[in-house]
């Protein structure tokens, strides 16, 4: 099968790497002809709303999918009018709007923090009463990696933040004093579901730094929530649900923060860590093939290489490390690659991840000092 993919970033590249052994071929739409996915398929250079580029993207393809969720609605419609497009428009529409997403989670019986929609400054008064402070004001649409959001401690700050965010539709959410963040990844097809995780995530400045599996008492609940969301969406493909974890040990509880209707950074460890990766299962799902076993081969984790890549020599000298480079030029904070580790159990993974982290962090100050 030939698959048209909207977006040619590292997620597209890893879809390609997973699909080639299955006999899939790929064409990617991306504004940058030298995008990371260019190494694994044809590219069409163009904007995501460019009608000519979209026509070239789909010509001769059998299926369409995407590697990011902010695909314009008109683009999704165009694709769906020409090719089987998976996941479907409902997964996209809900994931693109933080208010719709939280309402949908609640409909699925999944716990969410207190929230209120803010369409105009006048809505803030009532919202503050319902949500309380501290809170986060986030734009309803187009936010990612912590962009488009402000922490606010009172009504005056909320008003200032609303103006600062451009007066666009927002959501006011209660600040959640979480002890950890975790995600569950699920691949759903009409033939079944495969789940990964929970995966524990560490963000710095809103950007994912490290992900690792861990056996958790809340695993059953979190996996159940992710499955309920995928099922109710009738999602076809891979989907990630991000949770906040409150409390520790047997008292730990989860609140769903957001979902991504696609393969996800927190699941990169599944490439070597699971019998079948999130990428391969996404392709199997959208192509109507049986899903592969998502079972872990051990405790697995990954560390993102942000802004700078430590020398491959040093990384690969660490036992069990696999390196994934995206072929991007370095820029502060940019995701340039990641390294994964599979270990026999959690304690061994702790040690090996700490080693890897030391190496990755040692590379950073030097890079920051380098001009350009």
Positions in the binding site for ligand AMP (CB under 6 A): 113, 136, 143, 146, 173, 175-176, 181, 203, 206, 257-258
Provide the 3-class DSSP secondary structure of residue 370.
coil
CA distance 101 to 93: 9
By beta-carbon proximity to ligand AMP, the closer residue of 35 and 95 is 95
By beta-carbon proximity to ligand AMP, the closer residue of 54 and 226 is 226
Least distance (Å) from ligand AMP to the CB of residue 248? 17
If residue 257 lies in a helix (H) or strand (E), which one and from where to where? strand 253-260
Task: Decide: 72 and 6 in contact? Cβ < 8 Å.
Answer: no
Least distance (Å) from ligand AMP to the CB of residue 143? 5
Least distance (Å) from ligand AMP to the CB of residue 113? 5
CA distance 334 to 307: 5
Q: CB atoms < 10 A from the CB of 76, how many?
A: 22
With b for 16 or more beta-carbon neighbours within 10 A and e for fewer, the 290-311 pattern comes to ebbebebebbbbbbbbbbbbbe
Least distance (Å) from ligand AMP to the CB of residue 138? 6
CA distance 269 to 45: 30
The whole-angstrom distance between residue 259's C-alpha and the CA centroid of its chain comes to: 8
By beta-carbon proximity to ligand AMP, the closer residue of 76 and 136 is 136
By beta-carbon proximity to ligand AMP, the closer residue of 71 and 112 is 112
Least distance (Å) from ligand AMP to the CB of residue 151? 8
Residue 83 Cα distances to 58, 79, 88, angstroms: 7, 6, 11
Least distance (Å) from ligand AMP to the CB of residue 118? 14
Least distance (Å) from ligand AMP to the CB of residue 179? 11
Least distance (Å) from ligand AMP to the CB of residue 246? 11
By beta-carbon proximity to ligand AMP, the closer residue of 113 and 210 is 113
CA distance 3 to 86: 11
Give the tokens for residue 74: 């008109």
By beta-carbon proximity to ligand AMP, the closer residue of 13 and 98 is 98
Closest-by-Cβ residue to ligand AMP is: 176
CA distance 258 to 155: 25
CA distance 43 to 34: 9
DSSP 218-252: THHHHHHHHHHHHHHHT--EEEEEEEEEESSGGG-
């Amino acid at each position: 099968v030939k698959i048209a993919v909207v977006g040619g970033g590292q997620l597209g590249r890893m879809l390609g790497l997973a699909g080639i052994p299955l006999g899939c071929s790929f064409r990617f739409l991306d504004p940058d002809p030298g995008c990371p996915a260019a190494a694994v398929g044809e590219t069409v250079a163009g904007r995501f709303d460019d009608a000519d580029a979209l026509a070239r993207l789909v010509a001769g393809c059998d299926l369409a999918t995407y590697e990011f969720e902010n695909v314009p609605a008109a683009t999704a419609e165009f694709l769906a009018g020409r090719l089987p497009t998976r996941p479907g428009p409902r997964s996209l529409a809900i994931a693109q709007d933080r208010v719709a997403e939280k309402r949908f989670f609640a409909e699925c019986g999944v716990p969410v923090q207190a929230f209120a929609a803010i369409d105009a400054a006048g809505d803030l008064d009532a919202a503050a009463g319902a949500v309380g402070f501290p809170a986060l004001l986030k734009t309803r649409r187009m936010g990612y990696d912590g962009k488009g959001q402000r922490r606010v401690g009172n009504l005056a700050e909320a008003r200032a933040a609303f103006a600062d965010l451009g007066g666009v539709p927002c959501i006011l959410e209660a600040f959640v004093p979480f002890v950890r963040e975790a995600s569950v990844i699920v691949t759903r097809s009409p033939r079944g579901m495969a789940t990964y995780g929970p995966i524990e995530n560490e963000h710095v400045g809103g950007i994912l730094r490290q992900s690792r599996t861990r056996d958790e008492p809340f695993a059953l609940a979190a996996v159940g929530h992710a499955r309920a969301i995928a099922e109710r969406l009738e999602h076809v493909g891979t989907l990630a649900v991000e949770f906040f974890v409150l409390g520790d040990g047997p008292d730990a509880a989860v609140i769903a923060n957001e979902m991504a209707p696609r393969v996800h950074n927190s699941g990169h460890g599944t490439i070597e860590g699971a019998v079948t990766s999130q990428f391969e299962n996404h392709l199997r799902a959208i192509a109507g093939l049986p899903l592969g076993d998502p079972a872990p081969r051990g405790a697995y984790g990954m560390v993102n290489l942000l802004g700078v890549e430590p020398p491959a020599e040093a990384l690969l000298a660490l036992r069990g490390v696999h390196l994934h480079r995206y072929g991007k030029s370095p820029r502060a904070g940019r995701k340039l690659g990641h390294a994964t580790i599979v270990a026999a159990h959690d304690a061994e993974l702790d040690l090996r991840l700490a080693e890897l982290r030391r190496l990755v962090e040692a590379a950073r100050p030097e890079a920051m000092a380098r001009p350009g």
